[in-house]
Homo-oligomer: A and B are copies of this chain.
Amino acid sequence: MSLTAPFPELIHRIKTEGIVQGNDILKIDHFLNHRIEPGFMRRMAQEIASRLSSFKPDFVLTAEASGIAPGLLVAMELDVPLVYAKKYHPEVETPMLSRVLPSPTKGGSYRMVLSQRYLPSGSTTVIVDDFLSNGRTALALLEMAREAGVAVAAAAFLVEKTFKQGHAAITDAGVPLVALAQVDALLEGKVILRGDA
């Protein structure tokens, strides 16, 4: 099966319940990242885990906050630890690996930090997150992992917007991309999904 094959249950829920605002925002936070149905999230995590298992990761890597739920359930399926980057105030200096990222929806910026002792040099990881859009979070995780000597074997997302920069950024970095739903466009209140009839 393709790494980006549409996952029917997610596709159905996006089509029937997603709310499109303008040409950029797809609101599905009632099952993705504000309210979560554990059974549904677990079925998605099982599908992602099955696509990632051949990469044999030593741990799953994600970022707080919305990556934790899918990351944890994927890690549980793969029977490996989950490591998640934490967010700090940008002015807090830490002895850890970090990147300062803009926070468009929350205002200002924040520092994403990872303790190097959870990134063993020579190990292999997979990145898991809920959404891929501009890819800033995923790229920061990728850079920090590589800085620590960790190989990033793949990056997996429940939903990706193929029309934003993240898709090219991940594939240009030589990292295989896994997605359960690919949004090709958001047009006047309608969501255009790849593979749609």
Contacts of A87 in B (CB 8 A): 65, 106
Known contacts A92-B106, A92-B107; A118/B36 CB under 8 A: no
Report which of B42, B76, B81, B103 forms a contact with A35, defined as CB distance below 8 A.
B81
The number of residues on chain A lying at the interface, defined by a beta carbon within 8 Å of a beta carbon of chain B, is 40
How many copies the complex holds: the figure is 2
Q: Report the nearest B residue to A36, measured CB to CB.
A: B82
A3 on the interface (CB 8 Å rule)? no
A132 on the interface (CB 8 Å rule)? no
A52 to B80 alpha-carbon distance, docked (Å): 28
A83 to B33 alpha-carbon distance, docked (Å): 9
Contacts of A10 in B (CB 8 A): none
Q: Report the nearest B residue to A115, measured CB to CB.
A: B34
Contact A35 B83 (CB under 8 A): yes
Known contacts A64-B64, A65-B68, A118-B30; A36/B75 CB under 8 A: yes
A147 on the interface (CB 8 Å rule)? no
A-B contact pairs, 13 of them (CB 8 A): A34-B86, A35-B81, A36-B81, A36-B83, A38-B81, A38-B82, A41-B72, A64-B68, A65-B68, A68-B69, A69-B82, A87-B106, A89-B106
